[in-house]
Amino acid sequence: MKGKGMATDLLASGQPASGGSRPSAPRSFLDVRDLRIHFNTDDGVVKAVDGLSFQLDRGKTLGIVGESGSGKSVTSLGILGLHRHSKARVSGEVWLDGEDLIAASDERVRALRGQRIAMIFQDPLTAMHPYFTVGAQIIEAYRVHNNVSKKVARQRAIDMLGRVGIPQPARRVDDYPHQFSGGMRQRAMIAMALVNNPELLIADEPTTALDVTVQAQILDLIRDLQEEFHSAVIMITHDLGVVAELADDILVMYGGKAVEYGTAETIFRRPEHPYAWGLLGSMPRVDRDVRDRLIPVKGTPPSLINLPSGCAFHPRCPYVGYNGIPCRTEIPTLAEGSDHGVACHIPPAERQRIFSEDIAPAL
């Protein structure tokens, strides 16, 4: 029921860039192919995103999950074209409704930014300008892309604030961000992002800075607005719980690459990558004490300058070298299985067996 067309998309996009078998015409509303974002730093090249591919249709939600430093934010800023040419090398393709944003001119991408693609950032306190009123910032976002009077834009801003559930929007429109509570501020951020009815909304950890009850409200709000506008949503998080109810598809990132990609149902019911098992195991649950997390992901995230050889996850993987698989020498690819991509050397049948016999009972 979910992730329509995943099988063929995966087969196509899972190929390495040199494979040459990529279809030229994108079929999904958003089609990211072999996206690479590398930064030149004094210490070396940071491969923050290295060959990422995924698809997303209108009205659908893709959850991108991964630890801190796995390249989630760099990916989203890359889609928005917000990396500076002087610092970042961006390659690959980002097709939005048939237009490749990587090949497009800066001015073209700027015109799309905030208009067809919008973003909600993690920390609403620092993401809004402290010296301008909330209203002024929303009005500005609306007027860059719409040739309307200040008065019309102001009415639009008030409507949007009301829409995202801010009480007395006509009064609050003239308040400054610091006069809003955390949750209200994130609502205002959402109002600002949605003011132009964007077709693609990227929410980069939209609830991490908020407390739990507010988190749920904000996620509900995003879902309601998505249904209303039928927009595509990328929900970025390091917490699987956030995307559990929201996402149609889930992409698990590790060290700048996708390690597992499938429908949400697949990722939650029968995940096959040991890293995904770790993430599931460390998911907070009501019926489990935080201390007896089953498989905490031990160790620290890898350095993106010197990725471990072979599978980047191998230093932390409990199954490294399992039955003589070449974890340390060969990089596993994603294209395996029918509706489900897993970048792991363990044979699919073995992975499924390990999950159902050893992992699932303990989850």
List contacts with ligand ATP (CB under 6 A). Answer: 39, 41, 46, 48, 66, 68-74, 87, 238, 304
C-alpha to C-alpha distances, 50 to 35, 192, 203, 304, nearest whole angstrom: 7, 31, 21, 10
Closest approach, Cβ 282 to other proteins, in A, equals 27
Question: Which one, 144 or 335, has the nearer CB to other proteins?
Answer: 144
Q: Which one of Mg ion, ligand ATP, other proteins, none interacts with residue 129, CB within 5 to 8 A by kind?
A: other proteins
123 binds, among other proteins, Mg ion, ligand ATP, none (CB under 5 to 8 A by kind): other proteins
Give the DSSP letter string of 73-129.
HHHHHHHTT-S-TTTEEEEEEEEETTEETTTS-HHHHHHHBTTTEEEE-S-HHHHS-
Taking the complex as a whole, the smallest distance from the CB of residue 205 to Mg ion amounts, in Å, to 6
| CA torsion angle 189 195 200 202 (round to 10) | -10
Instruction: Look up residue 201 and give its two tokens.
Output: 């909304």
Triad 188, 194, 196: Cα angle to 5°: 130
> Do the beta carbons of residue 129 and residue 141 sit within 8 Å?
no
- When CB distances to Mg ion are compared, the closest residue is 73
Largest CA distance in the chain: 69
Nearer Cβ to other proteins (48/112): 112
Nearer to ligand ATP, 304 or 317 (CB): 304
Shortest distance (Å) from residue 5 CB to other proteins = 29
179 vs 338 by CB, closer to other proteins: 179
Q: Report the C-alpha gap between 38 and 281 in whole angstroms.
A: 31
| Residue 121 contact among other proteins, ligand ATP, Mg ion, none, beta carbon within 5 to 8 Å by kind | other proteins
User: Mind giving me the DSSP string for 5-58?
Assistant: THHHHHHHHTS-GGG----SS--SSEEEEEEEEEEEETTEEEEEEEEEEEEE-T
CB of 294 to Mg ion, least distance (A): 26
User: CB of 89: closest distance to other proteins in angstroms?
Assistant: 18
Q: Which residues contact 288 (CB under 8 A, 6 or more apart)?
A: none
Residue 111 contact, options ligand ATP, Mg ion, other proteins, none, Cβ 5-8 Å cut-off depending on partner type: other proteins
CB of residue 304 to ligand ATP, shortest distance in Å: 5
Q: For the CB of residue 209, give the shortest distance to Mg ion in the complex, in Å.
A: 12
Residues contributing to the site for other proteins (CB under 8 A): 77, 80, 82, 110-115, 118-119, 121, 123, 126-133, 140-141, 144-145, 176, 178-179, 192
Q: 345-348 contacts: CB < 8 A, separation 24 or more?
A: 345/311, 346/274, 346/319, 346/322, 348/272
Q: With contacts defined by CB under 5 A, how many residues of the chain interact with Mg ion? A: 1
Site for Mg ion in 57-76 (CB under 5 A): 73
Comparing CB distances to ligand ATP, the nearer of 267 and 354 is 267
Residues near Mg ion (CB under 5 A) are: 73
